[in-house]
Amino acid sequence: MVERIKKEIKTHRGRLTLMIVLGALLLIGWRDLESNSSAQDSPNPREILLKIQNMSFGNNNPAIYLKPGETVRFIIHNLDAGMKHDFVIQGTDVASRILDYGEKDAVLFTAPRDEKEMKYECSLHALMMQGRLVVSHDYAFQR
Ligand SMILES: [Cu+2]
């Protein structure tokens, strides 16, 4: 068997076959790589800007709605003079740096595949700075 393959490779047709097989394997591998990376970080995730002012995210810690499985980029901008803040999604390891006044950070988050009610917070001031993160198919109740 091995002898036969060796002989085949020596022939022109054998080499051609080998090239085609290798090419097909490469193509399959490439496609798998591409689909993996697009699943993990989609090229243009929706951006959600949260400006922190007066001990609050945005305007009074708004509820944020995500589609199941959606990847979004949270951009956190600390505009609260003299205060340090961060942005953490409870029950995940998604967290920004602790931001000084004027600093910005961005974090990527992929929502769970199932509908779920989650919470985001500033870990330094969780009592005042906490909001709902709603993962839902139903966009009807969104603002
Ligand atoms: Cu804070």
For 25-42, what is each residue's pLDDT tens digit? 555 555 444 444 444 555
- Find out whether 86 and 99 touch, Cβ atoms under 8 Å: yes
pLDDT above 90 coverage of the chain, percent? 64
- Find out whether 15 and 9 touch, Cβ atoms under 8 Å: yes
Task: Quote the CA–CA distance of 63 and 1 in Å, as a whole number.
Answer: 67
pLDDT of residue 138: 83
What average pLDDT does range 54-71 have in this prediction? 96
pLDDT of residue 21: 55
Residue 133 host element (H or E):
strand 130-135
Q: Looking at domain 46-135, what is its CATH homologous superfamily?
A: Cupredoxins -  blue copper proteins (2.60.40.420)
Instruction: Name residue, tokens 């600093």.
Output: 103
How far does residue 66's CA lie from ligand 1's centre (Å)?
23
How far does residue 125's CA lie from ligand 1's centre (Å)?
4
* Tokens found for residue 112: 């769970």
- Find out whether 122 and 85 touch, Cβ atoms under 8 Å: yes
How far does residue 141's CA lie from ligand 1's centre (Å)?
28
pLDDT above 70 coverage of the chain, percent? 67
Longest Cα–Cα distance in the chain: 79
pLDDT of residue 39: 46
How far does residue 82's CA lie from ligand 1's centre (Å)?
11
How far does residue 112's CA lie from ligand 1's centre (Å)?
25
Where do the domains of the chain lie? Answer: 2-40, 46-135
How far does residue 40's CA lie from ligand 1's centre (Å)?
29
